[in-house]
Amino acid sequence: MNENKLLRAARLTSLVALAAASIAGAPLAHAAGSIPNKTLVYCSEGSPAGFDPAQYTTGTDFTANTFTVYNRLVEFERGGTKVEPGLAQSWDVSPDGKTYTFHLRHGVKFQTTSFFKPTREFNADDVVFSFDRMLNPNNAFRKAYPVSFPYFTDMGLDKLIAKVEKVDPYTVKFTLNEPNAPFIQNMAMEFASILSAEYADQLMKAGKAADINQYPVGTGPFIFKSYTKDATIRFDGNPDYWKPGAVKLSKLIFSITPDASVRVQKLKRDECQVMSYPRPADIAPLKADSNIAMPSQPGFNLGYLSYNVTHKPLDNVDVRHALDMAINKKAIIDSVYQGAGQAATNPMPPTQWSYDKSLKANAYDTAKAKALLAKAGQANGFEITLWAMPVQRAYNPNARLMAEMIQADWAKIGVKAKIVTYEWGEYIKRAHAGEDDSMLIGWTGDNGDPDNWLGTLLGCEAVNGNNFGKWCYKPFDELVQKGRQTPEQAQRTKFYTQAQQIFAQQLPFSPIAHSTVYQPVSKKVTDMRIEPLGYARFDGVGMQ
């Protein structure tokens, strides 16, 4: 064979090998040198509480753990809410809607780190372990490291999933107790990240099960290197990532910068190339900077004021309506959102399917609010705590200012509000425990399904989780449950419309605003997308 023929034969052999690998569903491993030698610094707004996604519910945590280190069986497409295959390359649903069979991807490797060297590839054992830990109170790892799984329980998945079984090394079967329309959307969420069963065994044998929350191992695009609380998180690009070409950064560094004005200065000085949560006042100056791009889109979010209905007199619906009417929401939107927000009426944003356009918010009316308080036996007013978030969020760019404005509004109807705040982790923990009377909080949708608003924020199952008002109202909850169990979207919409109307009558929280989301980014960065579900992702992102 001459040299040309040899080259052609070699090329043909490699093409056949490539095709065979693709057909077998075995993704081709990156060559270690194929990741561009580029570093991106992300100015994030806060320290993550940990690196075990099943334990947490905030975008700060998910940006730092879920979309860097881990994958899920199914995943949201970048920049959207559509579900695509992840660690499962396909799945089947039984005719009765109760059995989901996931066919797993071959050839996926867990990350090799300084603290763990895998001896096998990802398989069904890892999926079963990841879910059994949340589902089974007697799971050995859960006993060794007992934590709560707020999303899993808030969404009722602990009651919904009857069992998770390994059919063979690359097939896993989930059996549900009843049909569940949002199940696949829910499986793309952060809590469903797949952990390494082999790593968990290693940690248990060493008596260090809690290390899973400090030293994470997954199959994701970035490998955890180190974390210095309130300072930096360092990741390396994963050379063995199963999605060819998705890792375009050799180093990803989180520079933890709680002060928004400092984040802006760092971005302008190119000390970071992406920043989180700009303040409304910083939007115009950032837009004017020729080195910075400012993409924006309507936020899939809601900022609201929650009422703890287990505390008197907030158990009285007239009192809640009176407090709501006394708030000048237009003034809040002008001052706090500075034009980058719209008034909220419903417990979900207008871009969510099933949103009830017919609902009307209470008009700002101090006199009517006073009359309602008198009707409720509170003519002389009362004292109340009003909690203000210590962090900035797209759904609430300045909770302290908002709290001060509400405090002044309530004073006009004789209600004395004492503003309280804590460090973010403590704030959430104490709110879960029900210590607040009223609190500023918000939500960015997780999965594009109405259940993620109505069930997760207001359902009876979520009373010890994200239902901060502890409001469990059976007529409402029954509609949410029916919506979950009905496959047809038109019928689900009817249930959710009725539920929104009950919400408006009962008002367990006051919707304040939906904000516009901005993502300031250096023009050197390529293909950074705004994630409607409220986190930042760096797979697919590169640097010029």
Question: In sequence order, which residues have a C-beta less than 8 Å from that of residue 299 and are 6 or more positions away?
Answer: 349, 394, 395, 444, 514, 515, 516, 517, 532
d(CA 29, CA 410): 61
Report domain extents, the chain. 27-57+220-295+519-544, 71-206, 301-517
29, pLDDT greater than 60: no
**Residue among 66, 69, 61, 47 at smallest CA distance from 236:** 69
Q: Does pLDDT of 334 surpass 90? A: yes
CATH number for the segment(s) 27-57+220-295+519-544: 3.40.190.10
**Does 379 score more than 90 pLDDT?**
yes
State pLDDT tens for residues 106-147: 999 999 999 999 999 999 999 999 999 999 999 999 999 999
Q: Residue 50's pLDDT is what?
A: 95
Judge whether residue 15 has pLDDT over 60: no
How much is the pLDDT for 155?
Answer: 83
Tell me: the pLDDT tens digits for 392-404? Answer: 888 999 999 999 9
- Crossing angle for the helix pair 366-375 and 317-325, nearest 10 degrees? 160
pLDDT over threshold 90, residue 231: yes
Contact 217, 110 (CB under 8 A): yes
pLDDT at residue 425, rounded to an integer: 85
Q: Summarize pLDDT for 467-522 with one digit per residue, the tens.
A: 999 999 999 999 999 999 998 899 999 999 999 999 999 999 999 999 988 999 99
Q: Which structure tokens are listed for 264?
A: 């802006």
**pLDDT classification of 95: cutoffs 50, 70, 90:** very high
Q: Residue 5: pLDDT above 70?
A: no
Superfamily, domain 71-206: Dipeptide-binding Protein; Domain 1 (3.90.76.10)
- Which pLDDT score, from 0 to 100, does residue 89 have? 98
Q: Please tell me the least confidently modeled range out of 63-67, 210-214, 369-373.
A: 63-67
pLDDT cut 70: percent of the chain above it = 94
Residue 104 has pLDDT above 60, yes or no: yes
Q: What is d(CA 231, CA 288) in angstroms, rounded to the nearest whole number?
A: 29
More reliable by pLDDT, 520 or 11: 520
pLDDT given at position 27: 38
Q: Is 73:184 a contact under the CB 8 Å cutoff?
A: no
Residue 407 has pLDDT above 80, yes or no: yes
Q: Does residue 33 register a pLDDT over 90? A: no
Percent of the chain with pLDDT over 90: 85
Question: How many whole angstroms separate alpha carbon 370 and alpha carbon 38?
Answer: 61
Kindly state which CATH superfamily the domain 301-517 is placed in: Dipeptide-binding Protein; Domain 3 (3.10.105.10)
pLDDT at 269 over 50: yes
What's the chain's average pLDDT? 92
pLDDT per position as a tens digit, 182-216? 999 999 999 999 999 999 999 999 999 999 999 99
Q: What pLDDT shows up at residue 157?
A: 94
Average pLDDT, stretch 80-105?
96
pLDDT band for position 339 (cuts 50, 70, 90):
confident
